[in-house]
A and B are shown apart, each in its own frame.
Chain A
């Protein structure tokens, strides 16, 4: 099985958690590695923008010397988007329903990110 196939397997496992709608792995420099987002989403644009978002957030935090960025969470009126580092090269981006228990999602997303880090680094 290819690395991409294995990453997709990790994303499949993540999707079995209640409230998780889709997820994607992108490189920190904005290229799509794997995703299970629906086909009407432009995954490449999504990947570029997610990486840009995390990069900007990290830089902002570093500038004010406020610690190391663990994750970026975006809340909208009907969803949450969580972007977290998956090793030195990749990011895991998870889209969930708005009312999910965040603790469980962060735990599971953290597990998935560790697996992905092991696969790509």
Chain B
């Protein structure tokens, strides 16, 4: 176990990594002077997330130090460009410095400020890393990326872990943050355990045995403590990088409850199949919110379209049940639609819509009339008022990601 900065000291504030879904799970970010392990499943690429962290730290004024041992320096810059995060400016200003541990493998001369020729000797790697950390720290607080731990483990064996403990002490002294990329495959369990005990913060990216939203992000450790696991499905978007991804939220409810308006109010872009003023197939809207991308499927309200409701309800991760607060007589129909769409039992929120009308029932009255239990959130809203419908969406996201 590495010495960690005293995390109990509440005056220390956390440093965000700049990716909202990760910062959320880490309780705001990580403490300066600590390290993060980005542990990935072999089929998931961790470098996108690392580059997002790096870019955010650079933008916030940190000095970036990037050790690369499995690809060329140029390809790191290129990969970052491909997700729309250009590192070239930072390189030119001397804000991003590379430690090239790759060119040496092929006997090529490196242009990087620091280079490592012998990959199999942990002490010579350590000498360069320690020197780079100390020198760069004189110019600012350092964010170090180690890409990747695997190469060093394969070349040096467990010896590298002792050196990491040493760098972590340097990090404490200089308020640096160290971020290690690590693909977990084929290592003995004692090595895996040694690695996980070495890092106070661990972010995991892995795949699940399903086709839709099969890549998930979890944080298994924050500030040296195991945390309750929340799983956030994610997707890589270009440009931008990793975003939380909820591929389907069903927006359902009786005819004329305001579903289409809500889908359009929430969405950055939305399409509706409407004929003669009412939705005939579905409303589809794309939402970007809190680092998440969510796709909303608004259903048709009229009972004659129920067969489509049954077909489109599948695989939703949550539902928004929209009711017209002035029409309690339609509440039974609202509940029936949840059943027909097959989303009963999934996380859901009730949107008590049309609160601007004089005859609207209050949220409490809606809860009583619908006999909805207290643990379900009911949000009073006006469909065209973004603030009120976002409140409902926030409540739903919180429900969905707590698994």
Chain A residues close to B by CB (< 8 Å):
2-4, 27-33, 42, 44-45, 48-49, 51-53, 55-56, 59, 62, 120
Which of A28, A29, A33, A52 is B281 in contact with, Cβ under 8 Å?
A: A52
Residues in A neighbouring B247, C-beta threshold 8 A: 31-32, 44
Closest to B283 in A: A48
Contacts A2-B43, A4-B211, A31-B247; A45 near B271 (Cβ below 8 A): yes
B212 touches A49 (CB 8 A): no
Shortest 10 CB-CB distances between A and B: which pairs? A29-B314, A55-B311, A59-B307, A52-B281, A48-B284, A31-B212, A52-B282, A55-B308, A31-B247, A45-B284
B282 touches A29 (CB 8 A): no
**A-B contact number at CB 8 A:** 66
Closest to A48 in B: B284
Which of A3, A30, A42 is B312 in contact with, Cβ under 8 Å?
A: A30
Alpha-carbon separation in the docked complex, A120 to B214 (Å): 14
Which of A28, A44, A53, A56 is B295 in contact with, Cβ under 8 Å?
A: A44
B313 touches A29 (CB 8 A): yes
Residues in B neighbouring A29, C-beta threshold 8 A: 248, 311-315
Residues in B neighbouring A59, C-beta threshold 8 A: 307-308, 311
Give the interface size class of chain B.
20 to 34
Contacts A30-B297, A31-B247, A59-B307; A52 near B211 (Cβ below 8 A): no
Alpha-carbon separation in the docked complex, A32 to B271 (Å): 16
A53 touches B311 (CB 8 A): no
A12 to chain B, nearest CB (A): 18
Most buried by B among A4, A30, A53, A62: A30
B229 on the A face (CB < 8 A)? no
Which of A27, A42, A120 is B269 in contact with, Cβ under 8 Å?
A: A42
What 0/1 pattern do residues 177 to 219 of B give for CB contact below 8 A with A? 0000000000000000000000000000001000110100000
Residues in B neighbouring A48, C-beta threshold 8 A: 282, 284, 295, 297, 312
Alpha-carbon separation in the docked complex, A2 to B43 (Å): 8
Residues in B neighbouring A55, C-beta threshold 8 A: 307-308, 311-312
Residues in A neighbouring B281, C-beta threshold 8 A: 49, 52-53, 56
Residues in B neighbouring A30, C-beta threshold 8 A: 248, 282, 297, 312
Given contacts A31-B212, A44-B286, 17 further A-B contacts (CB under 8 A): A27-B211, A29-B248, A29-B312, A30-B282, A31-B248, A33-B211, A33-B212, A44-B295, A45-B284, A45-B286, A49-B271, A49-B273, A52-B281, A52-B312, A53-B281, A55-B311, A55-B312
